[in-house]
Amino acid sequence: MKSVPDGHFLVNLQGAGRERLVNIEVKDNAAKCVNSDDAPLKGLQGKFQLIGNGVFVIFFQNENHRASQYWLFRNDGSAAVKEVPDRGEKQTAIPVASDSLDLPKQRR
C-alpha cells in the first residue's frame, strides 16, 4: 500500500471524555473533514505520508484544532487510528460511501 485510498472514512475520535464522529474525505493522499457532529472539527485538513507497511502519518489542522495521527490499515480497508501522543484511545477509520455520519449496517 503506497497511498491512502481515495474516498470517505468515518472516524470515531475519543478525547476530553467523549466520542465524536468525523467524516474524512481523502483524495490523492490529501484529507479533509467534510462532516462532523462537533462543528469545530469541520474543515480539518492534512496530507498523509507513508511510513511503511500500510501505516501513514497525518497532521490535521484548522483554525480550531490540531492533531497528529497514525493510520494503520487493515486487510478489510479500515484503519486503526492512533493519536500522537497515544493515550490508549480505541479509534477506527471505516470506509463509507458518502459524507454521512451513519455507520454502515454491517458495522453496527
Fold of 7-98: Lipocalin (2.40.128)
Q: Output the pLDDT for position 86.
A: 86
10-residue mean pLDDT profile of the chain (108 residues): values are 96 88 97 96 96 96 93 96 91 96 73
- Distance set, CA 105 to CA 39, 53, 63, 64, 87 (Å): 25, 29, 34, 32, 29
Q: Where are the domains of the chain?
A: 7-98
Q: Output the pLDDT for position 106.
A: 63
What is the rounded CA–CA span in Å between residue 45 and residue 54?
20
